[in-house]
Each structure stands twice: as C-alpha cells, then as structure tokens.
Structure 1
Amino acid sequence: MSQMDTILFQHFSNDFAQLLESEYNYDVVIKLDEQSFKLHSLIYLHWYNFIKFPLKDIDSSTIFDLLISFHELDFEELVIYIQLYLINDKALWLRFKFFKVYYTCFLYDDFEALQTFYIDIFAEYPSLIFDANEFNLVDESDLVTLLKRDDLQLEESKIWDKMIQWGKENTQDLPFNITQWTNENFLALKTTLNNCISLIQYFQMFGKDLVTKVKPYKQILDPNLWDDITTKIMAPNESVSSIILPARKIFFNFINHSSIINEEHFAEISSWIDRNSSTYDIRCIPYEFKLLLRGSKDGFEFESFDTLCADIPGTVIVMKVNKMNELLGGYNPLVWSSDSDECRIKNADIAIGYDSSANNYGPYFSNSFLMWGNKKWYYNTYENDHEKLLRDEEEDGNGFFVDEIEVFQVLKNQMKYKTLSN
C-alpha cells in the first residue's frame, strides 16, 4: 500500500467511525440478549444471519471471533458488552482456552476487561499458565507482571522452578545436564531472566528448597544475594544488605494429595458435584478429598479397588489415559456395591454399578464406561447413556489403558468452608 493509499484509508476509517458513532438515520436495531444497539443497514448487512440469535445460543469460540470482528468495525459498545458477557457467563471457557484468547486480547487496547480478567485469574490460578504446554511462549513482560503479584497463589519454590523452566526454554544452546554448563551458559540464562530474578522471594523459601533448587543456579544471582541467603539460614536474626521481599498473601493452602490433577480440578469437581453453574474458588472448596487408592502404589486390578474402595460412600475416580494428555473419571454419591442397580449419565437405572463376582471387572458408569482389567478400561461409544460423547471410538477401539488411577472419598468440610465464608 502506497503512502497516499494509507492516507486515504485512514480518512475513510475516520469517516466510517463517525458513521458508527452516530445514531442519525439508523435503520437497524441489534438485540443481543437484553441489550439493544442502533446501527445502519450497510454495516449490519453482513452480520444479520449471524447475530440475530441470543449469545447463549452461540458457541464460545464464535462469540470470541465476533468480538474481534466488532473491534475491527469499531463497535465500542458491543466490544465492551461481549467482553463482559464472556467474563460473566463463559469464565470457565476463558480459563481453559486461555492461550487462544490471552494473546489475542493483549493485542487490542480496548480489550481491557479481558486483560484484567487474565491478570487476576493467573494470580489466583497460576497452574493455568505455569502448567500449560505453551508456557515457554509467554512474553517476558507478562511473566514479570505475574511474578510481581504479592497474591500469586503458589509456594515460592515452585515459582522459582517455573521461572527457571521458562528461562532455560528461552535461552539457546544450554546443555541438558547443568553439570556441563560453562560460565557463558549461566551468563546467558542470567541475561534471559534479568528482569525476573529479583522478583523471587528467596528469604521466604525453606532451607531445603534453597539448597536443592536455588544453589545449583547461584551463578545467576547477584554477587551478594547467595551469601545473604545462606546467612539468613544460619543466623535468621542477622541483618543483610539484600532486599527482603514480604511473603506473598496465600489465601488458602489446599492440600492436594493427587499426582495427576491440581487444585483447580478439585474445585471444578466440587462445583460439578453441587451442580453449580460456576466453578468454586480454590479458597472456598467445600470438600476434602481423601485418597483411598493410587494405582501405581496399590495396584490397578479390581481386587485392589474392591479392598480399598468398595462400600465407601461418595467417591471420585480419576484416571490419566496412557500416552495422551487426557483425564477421565466419574463421581459416585452412593457406595460401590455389587447389588447396586464429566458429563452426567442420563439413564438413572444403570447409572452406576460394581461387579465383584467372577466377571472380573470393577466399577462402571452406565454400561459403557467400566474397569476391565489391569490398567485397562472399556468404553462403548454405541451406548447413549451420557449427555455427550466421552471419547472417540477411533482413538482406542473401545478400550484404553491408563498411566495412573486415583480414587478419593469426598467429605464435606463444614468448618473450613464456614471459616472462609466469614
């Protein structure tokens, strides 16, 4: 595009923006849910068949694409409205699709509501970004913003681990084994993490974590910092020259006994159990999850399940599918008993069951999802007992193996819940 074309395009954009801002001679009213917006038919023509429906009837990805289109057309009110709709009604989708939305929303200045949502949500649920496969793609400025938060809900040693992980993945030519690193390698890592290193609260970490996690990388620290850290370990009352950052405000230390799911998963499971439309805050999970069985420790056979889990009321089964980043499971509010007759099961008559007889299979959720043997589960996609399809039959040919399985008893935690509610 030539300079003249650019100038003409800018003039045209300004004139078009003025048309959008004026209600004069409007001939169309767009109604989204309970909100009405006055527009001109010239603009509306390409959108009519798309936006005449309530937002609740449109899938979340399409709504977000619509938001971007309204931004490009400079529909300021609609941009604000749709952002608030996504935050208030589609927060769970925003969390689990955050890399799709996160990077896009920070490209536009008028997506302030979504930007604030993500800054706050990452502080409260840091595993969303720290445990993501795309974590190494996070911009340095965004990582710095997160590390500056005094309400980052993660223990400091894990924050250090994630910072080092990001630094190594964004520094070229580092040997895999740190014992093979040269001074140049440490200097390169220090350069990458230059704006992050001072934001770690070293003096709030346990001595064991400092020795096992920080000491191997002490060359990236400022010259006096490691000396001051060791001084505080040996003589806590001694003064040091390094800045001691105050401890982060950890709201609630949820005790996670799982090796395959995190606090956010427990919050979501709790919400699902209570049929809440929104997910519980991790600070206000009203249940405790008592670990009954872990396959890697107790065995994957139905005999282990029969011994440790049968006849115990209110249990959650969680499993990690072999060679896939996939979690499956289910909740049984009753007991697993042989005489008993996350999507929910539609057919209550065969909702849950357990066979401890010679059939040699264990718990099942409807007739289509059941324990079949050692690390093997069976799923029949022809059954229509669930609200939605759990797995694609082509993925596993009706059977799949698991790397891990865990069973928890769900216990109401009235005392902890009341304390957090007051």
Structure 2
Amino acid sequence: MAPLFANSLFQDLTQLFTEADDYDVKIEVGEGTEKETFKAHSVILRARSPYFKTALSSTWVKKVDDVVIFSKPNISPRVFRKILRYIYTGEFSLIEDNVQDNMMEEDDDDLLTEDDNSLMEDDIQDILLDLLLAADELALVELVKYMEEYIITYERDWVQENLANIFTTASQYESFTRLWKYFCGEILAQQPNTLFNSSYFLSLAKSTLLEFIGRDDLDIEEVEIWENLIKWACDQIPKIDRDVNQFTQSDLKELGNRLKDFIPLIRFFNISKEGYLSKIQPYEEILPDDLKNELKNFFESDNGSPPEGHLPPRVPVLQTVPDSVIINNKQLILIGSWIDSLDNDDSRFNLLNDAYDFYLLLRGSRDGMGIKPFHTLCLYKGPTLVVIKVKGTNQIIGGYNPDSWSKTGGSKAKDSFIFSLGKDKSFDNIILSRIEYDKIAISNSSNSLGFEDLKWFNGKYHKSNFKKQIMENPDDDFIIEDYEVFRVVKCS
C-alpha cells in the first residue's frame, strides 16, 4: 500500500495560499473602499471550482503581463478570504482567519483590520447568508452543504430573527432547498404573518409563494391568506390600486391573471360568511364561474353545503396539546422560551426555542377544583406551570414556579413569572410579568396558595410584586372555568 503524506500536502498548499508564489491570477473583490485584490493560481482555482474552470478558460478574460485580472464586485473581501482559503486547503473556519498580508496587493495592507483577521461570532452572523450565496455562485457544492447544515444546526436564533429575509433569498436558489423549504418554510407555516408582514413579501417570486400557499399546515385564517394574496398581486408590475372600488375592467382582468394559479389553493368554504361577504365577494369577478356559483349557493343558503371535492381545512402542525384543554403547543413553546431566557423580558415568540417538556399533573375539571387535589397531585414535583382559563372572558392567565410547591411558607423564586396569553391565538395581547428583585413570588399557605399577585383558588388578582399588570384592573376578581398544572422538564 502506497504511503499517504496528507499533512505535508496540506502544509504546502497552505504555504502556497499564504505566500502566493508564482501567482497568475488577480481577483478583485468588493467595491469602493471595500475593494481588495487577491493573488491566486489558476490551476488551483480550476481544479477546485467548476465556476473558475469555466470562467478562466474563456477567451474574454482580461490579462495584464500574463496575469489574469478577474473581478467579483458582488462578493465582499472578508467573505472571499474565507472561501479562497477553503479552495486552497479544504479548511473552513467561521471564526478564525489567519491570512497573511502578502495574499493581497502590497498597497492594500492598510485595509486589513483586526476584524478581518479574527471575526467574532456576532460578525459571523452578518456574513452567513453572503457566504452561502458566494459558495453557491462559485459552485462549491461541499461548502454549500456545510454552510446550510451549520445555519440550521447552530444559528437558529439568527434564523428566527431574519426568517423572512432568509426564506425569500434562499428560495431563489435550487441549492438551498433544505434551508428555505424544509426549515424556514416549516417555521413560517406556523407563523405565516412573519412573512406576510415583512418587507420581503411583496417581492416574493410567484413560484415560491405558490408552494407556500399550497401548504396544508399554514396556521392562519383562510381569509387572511386571501387578503395577503390580493396585496401581493396588486403590487406586481404594473401595479394595481388596492382599492377595489377604483378597479377598472382592465385591473380586474390583470388581477385575475395574476391570481388564477392561486385560486384553486384557497379553502373558500372554510371562510366565515362575514369574511366571504366583506373580503371575497368584492373580487368575485376574478373567480371561475363554477366556483362563483358554488360560493353563492353555500353562503346565501341557510342549509348550504360545500361541493364534493372541495379542499379540507388546513391543519397546523402545532395543534392543541394532547394533555391540555386550555393551551396549545405554540403557546407552550413561547412559555418555554421565557423560562430559558431568564434575563429576557421580551414576550416575542421564539418558535425555535422548544427546550422543555410539559407533563400534565392536574386538570381542575377532571381532578377537582379545590386545594386538596392540588396538594395531592402537585406538591414537591419541581418546576411547574399553572394555566388558568377565566370564565366569561376566555382569557388565559397563569404563572411559572421554578421551585416545588409545598404546604408552608413562601419563596422569592427569582426566576418566576406570571402572564396573560390574551383571549385568542393571535399573540397580539400577550403580557409577560417577571418578579421584582428580592420580592416574595410564591405563597404556599393554604389560605392564600398561588403566586403572590395571582391567588387563583381565591379568584383574586392584585398587582404587587410582579412587574407588569396582567389583568384589566390592578385589583381584579375572577372565576376559574378550568385550570391545569404541568411539571416542567428541560429537554436533554
């Protein structure tokens, strides 16, 4: 068997990369003050990149003194530096860059900064998408797969913060199918308004939007999907005034052409009569005649029924928790993110932070509404979540106790909080209220059991030790319709 000397080969290629002896290519990257020139070897570039293999063999490449001058103004220097190291050495690091100055033109030395040579993690997030796009443009398939996997595995918070941008950008590239379709797409299906309300929505490609609207698991009212489609269609070129009362016949015809492929994907028969009359009927001229007649028969008749073959309702992935009659998975994930972000007093929904399991200990309507069942089933169980449905208002309130419930005393429980999830699933009226510093949070006394501000057995809310008011009045009486207690366990 022939011996392998991979280490020495790697060292030689690294030296060739850093010293650039006998280079025959200069690659100008970036623009303006961000422009830099890198020296390289055409034989390495052609062997490692199908893009360069084609580009450098073209007759139109510019040469000066037998050196090819190549320009890539759309790629930034710090992105290209990482990619060039990968091309030469097969080594790719998102954190460290140890490129010697002589890889660049001598008069460009002053452009190097400490950030260029050692990018910290926050800086890396600024160029993640640029790295992915550049690797794809240069046909570096292995690197594209690595970057895609890295983003999905390690940059979930960044994805959540930039979800609409990543989805919109990545969907334009066949190479990024897993990232946009099976990762971002599944997240957006559970929070579609993140996309619909973003600045990227109106520029979304028709093919991408068709695929998204065709999903059976979108967690949004059907009439809202229709409204957003109208908004998108009107904004395409040439633009159409969104005021339906100002539409001309030409406008209606153009709108119909833009939406004809979307119309079969809309679950019209799952829209309320009020929604149909106010949101669908004004646009009925763009609907096919048979659909128009079916909708009239269905909505204008007291006993109307949907026609055979109509699309069934969408079924969101995050449905009601099997062990709960009050709260759903999306709300639990939100609460889990509050538990996991102890210094974050922000009630924004982080879908990716599914870090806890919730095990039902007690349901009032099943096990009894009094203190005795609570003592029997919930004491000394570790961290718990209490959720309460208020009778007559459907408001969902509750709290998190990071300590075990007991029969006596109180606890400051510095990581505890109480909350209101509002009266619906819109996530528009959520209130998170953390405990004030060094204040009593939990009362274990039988005559005042509960959170210091929220004594649910007594039906009393009094704003005192927690930071924010979670009910309409600072002193509020309420009646429990039902309540549940969950044991909270961090996922391993």
1:66 aligned onto 2:131: yes
Whole-Å separation in 2 of the counterparts to 1:188 and 1:284: 51
Q: How does 1:72-111 map to 2 (within 5 A)?
A: 72-111=137-176
Q: Among 191, 199, 206, which residue is 1:140 paired with?
A: 206
- The 8 Å contact of residues 32 and 52 in structure 1, kept in 2 or not, is answered as no
1:152 aligns with 2:218: yes
Distance 1:209 1:72 in 2: 46
The answer to whether structure 1 residue 16 and structure 2 residue 41 are counterparts is no
Structure 1 match to 2:236: 170
Match of 2:253 in 1: 187
Aligned partner letter, 2:314: R
8 Å Cα contact 2:201-2:232 kept in structure 1: yes
Aligned residue among 126, 129, 149 for 2:195: 129
Contact 2:417–2:466, Cα closer than 8 Å, also in 1: no
> Does 2:310 align with 1:230?
no
Q: Contact 2:263/2:287 (CA < 8 Å) preserved in 1? A: yes
Offset of residue 244 of structure 1? 0.8
What are the within-5 Å matches in structure 2 for residues 297-316 of structure 1?
314-316=417-419
For residues 282 and 120 of structure 1, the distance between their equivalents in structure 2, rounded to whole angstroms, comes to: 20
CA deviation after TM superposition for structure 1 residue 271, in Å: 0.7
The alignment status of 1:249 with 2:310, answered yes or no, reads no
Q: Secondary structure at the match of 1:61?
A: helix
Residue 198 of structure 1: SS of its match in structure 2? helix
Q: Say if 1:20 and 1:163 are closer, same or farther in 2 by CA, change over 3 A.
A: closer
Distance 1:57 1:172 in 2: 40
Tell me: CA distance 1:154–1:69, structure 2 relative to 1, closer, same or farther (3 Å).
same
- Counterpart position of 1:206: 272
Q: Secondary structure at the match of 1:18?
A: helix
287 and 214 in structure 1: CA distance in 2 versus 1, 3 angstrom threshold? farther
| 1:315 alignment partner, SS class | strand
Please provide the CA RMSD for this pair: 5.5
Task: Identify which of 263, 280, 285 aligns with 2:354.
Answer: 280
Is the CA contact (8 Å cut-off) linking 1:30 and 1:52 kept in structure 2? no
Aligned partner of 1:258 in structure 2 is none
**Structure 1 letter corresponding to 2:261:** N
What is aligned with 1:30?
A: 91
**SS of aligned partner of 1:30:** coil
8 A contact 1:264–1:282 mirrored in 2:
no
What residue is the counterpart of 2:184 in the other structure? 118
Letter in 1 for 2:91: I
Equivalences, count? 307
Alignment of 1:274-353 (within 5 A): 274-275=340-341, 278-280=352-354, 314-316=417-419, 331-332=433-434, 334=435
- Take 1:90 and 1:131, find their aligned partners in 2: how far apart are those partners? 23
CA deviations 1:192-220 (Å, max 9, x no partner) are: 21211221011222222222221121111
AA aligned to 2:45 is: F
Residues 201-243 of structure 1 show CA distances to partners (whole Å, capped at 9, x for unaligned) of: 1122222222222112111111121221232342657674x75
> Residues 77 and 174 (structure 1 numbering): CA distance in 2 closer, same or farther, change over 3 Å?
closer
Deviation at residue 279 of structure 1 after TM alignment? 1.6
Q: In 2, Cα distance between the equivalents of 1:140 and 1:269?
A: 36
Q: Distance in 2 between matches of 1:283 and 1:130?
A: 30
TM-score with structure 1 length normalisation? 0.55
CA distance in 1, matches of 2:273, 2:338: 39
CA spacing shift, 1:284–1:59, aligned 2, 3 Å: farther
- In structure 1, C-alpha distance between the alignment counterparts of 2:209 and 2:335, rounded to whole Å: 29
Q: Does the aligned pair in 1 maintain the 2:159–2:166 contact within 8 Å?
A: yes
**Structure 1: gaps spanning 5 or more residues:** 1-11, 35-40, 256-262, 292-312, 319-326, 342-353, 355-361, 372-410
Superimposed CA distance per residue, residues 286-323 of structure 1 (whole angstroms, 9 cap, x where no aligned partner) = 785989xxxxxxxxxxxxxxxxxxxxx833599xxxxx
CA distance in 1, matches of 2:306, 2:177: 43
The change in CA–CA distance for 1:417 and 1:128 in structure 2 (over 3 A counts) is farther
Distance 1:289 1:214, change over 3 A: farther
2:254 is equivalent to residue 161 of structure 1? no
Aligned-partner SS, 1:149: coil
Any residues of structure 2 matched to 1:214-225 within 5 Å, and which?
Answer: 214-225=280-291
* Aligned equivalents of 1:131, 1:331: Cα separation in 2: 27
How far does the alpha carbon of each residue in 1:101-125 deviate from its partner, in whole angstroms, 9 at most, with x for none?
A: 3343234332233233233222232
| Larger RCO (CA under 8 A, 6+ residues apart) | 1
Q: CA deviation at 1:188?
A: 2.4
- For the structure 1 residues 29 and 186, does the alpha-carbon distance in structure 2 shift closer, same or farther, using more than 3 Å as the test? closer
**Greater Rg over alpha carbons, structure:** 2
SS of 2:282's equivalent in the other structure is helix
Greater shift, 272-281 or 112-121, is seen at 272-281
What's the CA shift for 1:77? 2.1
Aligned 8 A contact 2:216 2:314 in 1: yes
Checking the alignment, whether the CA contact within 8 Å between 2:440 and 2:465 is kept in structure 1 is: no
Compared CA separation, residues 27 and 89, structure 1 to 2 (3 A): closer
SS at match of 1:59: helix
1:178 CA displacement = 2.7
Q: For residue 105 of structure 1, what is the amino acid of its counterpart?
A: A
TM-score by length of 2: 0.48
Measured in 1, the distance between the counterparts of 2:46 and 2:159 equals 29
